[in-house]
């Protein structure tokens, strides 16, 4: 090969010709005594296209002693180049390029191998060997291809004599398709200067022995007056014998052929073969008639391989039932191994992929078959042969095609590189998030994780999370659940700032979802991502936002919630072991901070199917996906094109039954908030009830009344006094700072209601400044009690406030700030020495000052009244009436005492 390259380079440099090919290894299978050509592998230098090079070198010695000089045969090489350059047919070897010098001719064609070498592979059980009648069917298919090409050359207007039909002039492509070559002697019937008339006898091979009786008797010149379709038929008949009897010599044709002389030629073909060998050219069967009679005899239709290839070539013209039948036949044949792997990968796969791009293709059945057949493709050829056509299908608006692509994504996702995913797949994939058909949206959500490792940081931490924020507001519960599961699985590869801002709000939204499995998924996601949270996040965000699920109406959720809580508490306990005992100064070490609320850990038994550890939750989350939607598109949706919804977020007026923000689990029982801020453990929910316990001047005030709604500012607007107690101030600040609709963001997160319910920014989002009010305005100083505020009649205004559990719920990531009355709960000790730290919703380092002891005798009168006030929750109607009567009497007595006091002062 090196010698050939050096000779080629020197020759071309001397002539000034630029050689556009790179010459590779010699292709075996072609005997040098049967052809003037040397066949080598080649590559086109400008685009890297693989090809086959036919090289003729006139400087080499003669083939055999006594043969004419190779310069004489140079005319045959020039004739082959001239004819091959001008003739185009699917069954003729495809010409690509050529280079001609005074001594050399290079013809570049499509990749082919000599038929003789391929037949040897079949005989020796090589890679091309099939099972059963595979070889016989393949030869029958090849005979049809060669006969079709020969009939094309013989028929007008070409009317060409091939006259060189030998096994050495037939070639096979990588897809095992047969191609007709050997145009060395190809001459037109009207061409008076054709090479066939003068040089037919010098061509290598045994063409002289195979030619018809008229040629052996009168020479090649007699063909000028003979129909080319009749002379080439004789050569075709002997080629058939050689193909079916490769080890047998040619039969004696001095007498009429017999079935025994036909050897292994199919019986249905023998009568036709006999007509093709008629010694009289005028009565001999022509090549065109051979095709017609072979079709009528059923020779082609009984060949499964021919039927399969014809079906692939005319796939778009077939009916729906015929298409499905053809696909079943391909699947069965491929699974049984009767089809050679090269035929599957280079013929069937490209044909299916081409048909799959058509709008009428049954993509839901074709694409799985394509991906299954693609498993046999070598890794080096998989990207070009399978990946590129499959990725192009993402641009199709057909829903059936998109669904098939998403369902089979696991088969080819790992074979795509990052650039292909980011530039070709992702821009088309995201259209599925906005599709109007729910099954497409759900499949799109599930398809993100296999591609997540190949997405850029910008896509992961910004574009994708915007889309998932909207998907968590979807009307389909399975889509909301799978979105939560996806976020849990994506957590390890998200940016640190994104984890801190997004995970807790996202999972907290799932915990309020009306769909039970969405709530379970939220708990499992928190457990699976526990390593993403530090101790401040666990104690200040995770635990407070999942605590209400401990009393969920569904046992499935409660069981998982207790397991999650036990795991979080154990982790927090381990995290605080090395923390200092105190960070307070010595002068403040003896200060009283009120009672400390203590709770006992709750341990529940394991439930089947529930995760009770971070590893278990991560494993369950990775293998669990809710799918309540049908896997099959309906017929109208299957044949329709994809369209985006007008909006992905749920409108504000949507029904509570479909909104993930409205949970039927929220209790409607009233909850009393006393002067110390203690609340009963109820789940925050939408404000739909009324305050049942508060009175003003002996009359009940509805929930919408000024000053009685949690965080209400009606008194401020009307010029009345502001909050006068700890409860008023905390409630007012809570309501002002927390937006109940902002479920994915709070004090240190961006507002998801901005930019149509998504995050407008993540890592680059500015964090709003947190203003901490002066601590002195939050509390009543024991040393200088302030007079209680009074209403317009001079009566003291009650400070007891009762809030419904359906009041506007705070953000799920806000910390609940409350201290509890010692006598209100059996879990709280009554000792005055127990202290309770106040929890802040805005900062973990706020100094909330000293909380006065609730049992201190110096406390103001309104605080005593509030401390003695009991909650009416759980009382019967009669008991409530008695209690209200008693309170009215006490209030009247206090008013009378105050009047007497004023008179005494006066």
* Annotated domain spans of the chain: 1-297, 472-576
Contact 649, 743 (CB under 8 A): no
Helices (H) and strands (E) in the chain, counts: 38, 14
Q: What is the pLDDT of residue 252?
A: 83
Report, in this order, helix, strand and coil percent for the chain, each rounded to 5: 50, 5, 45
Give the span between the Cα atoms of 266 and 263, in whole angstroms: 9
The predicted pLDDT at position 589 comes to: 52
d(CA 406, CA 412): 10
- Overall fold of domain 1-297: Transferase(Phosphotransferase); domain 1 (1.10.510)
Residue ranges of the chain whose pLDDT lies below 50: 1-3, 13, 65-66, 592-608, 646-869
* Inter-residue contact 512 to 474 (CB < 8 Å): no
- Taking the C-alpha atoms of residue 189 and residue 223, their distance in angstroms, rounded to an integer, is 8
- pLDDT for 768: 42
Lookup: tokens for 366: 């074709």
- How far, rounded to the nearest angstrom, does the alpha carbon of residue 388 sit from its chain's CA centroid? 16
Q: What is the pLDDT of residue 59?
A: 86
Distance, CA of 327 to CA of 365 (rounded, Å): 8
Give the sign of the dihedral formed by CA 281, CA 284, CA 287, CA 288: positive
Residue 699 to residues 670, 694, 772, Cα–Cα distance (Å) = 18, 8, 36
Residue 661: the pLDDT is 39
DSSP label at residue 157: T
Can you tell me whether residue 5 is helix, strand or coil?
helix
Q: Which residue has the tokens 């000053």?
A: 707
pLDDT digits (tens, 9 = 90+) for 212-224: 999 989 899 899 9
Question: Hey, what are 887's tokens?
Answer: 């309170």
């Amino acid at each position: 090969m090196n010698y050939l390259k050096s000779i080629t380079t020197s020759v071309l440099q001397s002539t000034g010709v630029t050689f556009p090919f790179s010459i590779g290894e010699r292709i075996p299978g072609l005997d040098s005594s049967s052809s003037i050509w040397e066949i080598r592998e080649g590559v086109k230098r400008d685009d890297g296209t693989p090809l086959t090079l036919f090289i003729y070198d006139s400087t080499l010695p003669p083939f055999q002693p006594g043969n004419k000089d190779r310069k004489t045969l140079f005319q045959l090489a020039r004739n082959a180049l001239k004819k091959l350059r001008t003739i185009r047919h699917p069954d003729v070897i495809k010409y690509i390029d050529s280079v001609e010098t005074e001594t050399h001719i290079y013809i570049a064609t499509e990749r082919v191998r000599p038929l003789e070498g391929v037949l040897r592979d079949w005989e020796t059980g090589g890679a091309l060997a099939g099972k059963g009648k595979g070889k016989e069917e393949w030869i029958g298919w090849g005979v049809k291809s060669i006969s079709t090409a020969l009939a094309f050359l013989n028929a007008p207007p070409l009317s060409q004599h091939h006259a060189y039909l030998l096994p050495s002039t037939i070639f096979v492509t990588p897809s095992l398709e047969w191609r007709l070559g050997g145009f060395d002697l190809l001459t037109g019937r009207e061409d008076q200067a054709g090479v066939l008339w003068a040089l037919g006898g010098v061509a290598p091979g045994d063409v002289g022995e195979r030619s018809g009786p008229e040629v052996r008797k009168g020479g090649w010149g007699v063909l000028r007056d003979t129909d080319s379709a009749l002379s080439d038929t004789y050569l075709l008949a002997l080629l058939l014998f050689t193909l079916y009897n490769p080890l047998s010599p040619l039969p004696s044709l001095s007498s009429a052929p017999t079935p025994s002389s036909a050897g292994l030629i199919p019986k249905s073909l023998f009568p036709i073969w006999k007509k093709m060998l008629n010694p009289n050219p005028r009565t001999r069967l022509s090549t065109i008639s051979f095709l017609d009679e072979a079709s009528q005899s059923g020779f082609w239709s009984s060949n499964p391989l021919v039927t399969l290839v014809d079906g692939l070539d005319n796939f778009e013209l077939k009916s729906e039932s015929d298409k499905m039948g053809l696909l079943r036949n391909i699947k069965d044949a491929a699974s049984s191994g009767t089809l050679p792997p090269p035929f599957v990968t280079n013929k069937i796969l490209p044909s299916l992929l081409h048909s799959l791009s058509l709008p009428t293709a049954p993509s839901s059945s074709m694409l799985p078959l394509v991906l299954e057949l693609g498993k046999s493709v070598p890794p080096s050829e998989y990207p070009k042969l399978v990946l590129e056509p499959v990725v192009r299908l993402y641009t199709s608006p057909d829903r059936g095609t998109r669904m098939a692509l998403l369902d089979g994504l696991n088969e080819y996702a790992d074979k795509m590189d990052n650039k292909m995913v980011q530039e070709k797949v992702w821009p088309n994939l995201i259209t599925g998030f906005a599709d109007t058909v729910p099954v497409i949206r759900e499949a799109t959500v599930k398809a993100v994780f296999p591609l997540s490792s190949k997405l850029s940081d910008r896509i992961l931490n910004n574009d994708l999370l915007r889309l998932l924020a909207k998907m968590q507001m979807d009307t389909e519960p399975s889509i909301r659940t799978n979105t939560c599961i996806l976020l849990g699985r994506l957590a390890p590869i998200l940016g640190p700032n994104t984890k801190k801002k997004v995970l807790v709000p996202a999972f907290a939204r799932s915990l309020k979802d009306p769909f039970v499995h969405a709530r379970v998924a939220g708990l499992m996601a928190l457990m699976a991502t526990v390593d993403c949270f530090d101790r401040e996040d666990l104690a200040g965000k995770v635990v407070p936002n999942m605590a209400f699920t401990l009393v969920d109406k569904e046992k499935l959720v409660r069981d998982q919630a207790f397991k999650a809580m036990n795991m979080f508490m154990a982790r927090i306990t381990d995290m605080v072991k090395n923390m200092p005992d105190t960070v307070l100064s010595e002068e403040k070490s003896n200060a009283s901070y009120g009672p400390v609320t203590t709770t006992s850990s709750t341990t529940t038994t394991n439930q089947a199917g529930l995760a009770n550890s971070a590893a278990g939750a991560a494993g369950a989350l990775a293998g669990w996906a809710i799918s309540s939607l049908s896997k099959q598109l309906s017929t109208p949706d299957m044949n329709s094109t994809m369209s985006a919804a007008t909006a992905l977020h749920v409108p504000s007026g949507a029904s509570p039954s479909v909104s993930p923000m409205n949970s039927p689990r929220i209790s409607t029982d009233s909850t009393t908030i006393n002067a110390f801020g203690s609340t009963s453990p109820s789940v925050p929910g939408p404000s739909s009830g009324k305050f049942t316990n508060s009175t003003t001047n002996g009359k009940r005030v509805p929930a919408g009344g000024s000053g009685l709604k949690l965080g209400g500012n009606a008194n401020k607007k009307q010029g009345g006094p502001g909050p006068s107690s700890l409860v008023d101030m905390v409630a007012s600040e809570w309501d002002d700072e927390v937006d109940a609709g902002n479920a994915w963001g709070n004090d240190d997160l961006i507002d998801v209601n901005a930019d149509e319910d998504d995050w407008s920014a993540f890592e680059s989002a500015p964090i709003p400044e947190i203003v901490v009010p002066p601590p002195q305005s939050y509390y009543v100083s024991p040393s200088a009690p302030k007079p209680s505020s009074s209403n317009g009649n001079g009566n003291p205004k009650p400070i007891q406030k009762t809030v419904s559990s359906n009041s506007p719920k705070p953000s799920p990531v806000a910390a609940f700030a409350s201290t509890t009355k010692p006598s209100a709960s059996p879990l709280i000790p009554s000792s005055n020495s127990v202290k309770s730290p106040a929890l802040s919703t805005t900062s973990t380092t706020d100094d909330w000052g000293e909380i006065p002891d609730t049992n201190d005798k110096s406390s103001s009168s309104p605080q005593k009244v509030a401390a003695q006030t009991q909650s009416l929750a759980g009382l019967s109607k009669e008991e409530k009436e008695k209690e209200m009567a008693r309170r009215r009497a006490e209030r009247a007595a206090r008013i009378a005492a105050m009047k007497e006091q004023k008179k005494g002062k006066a």
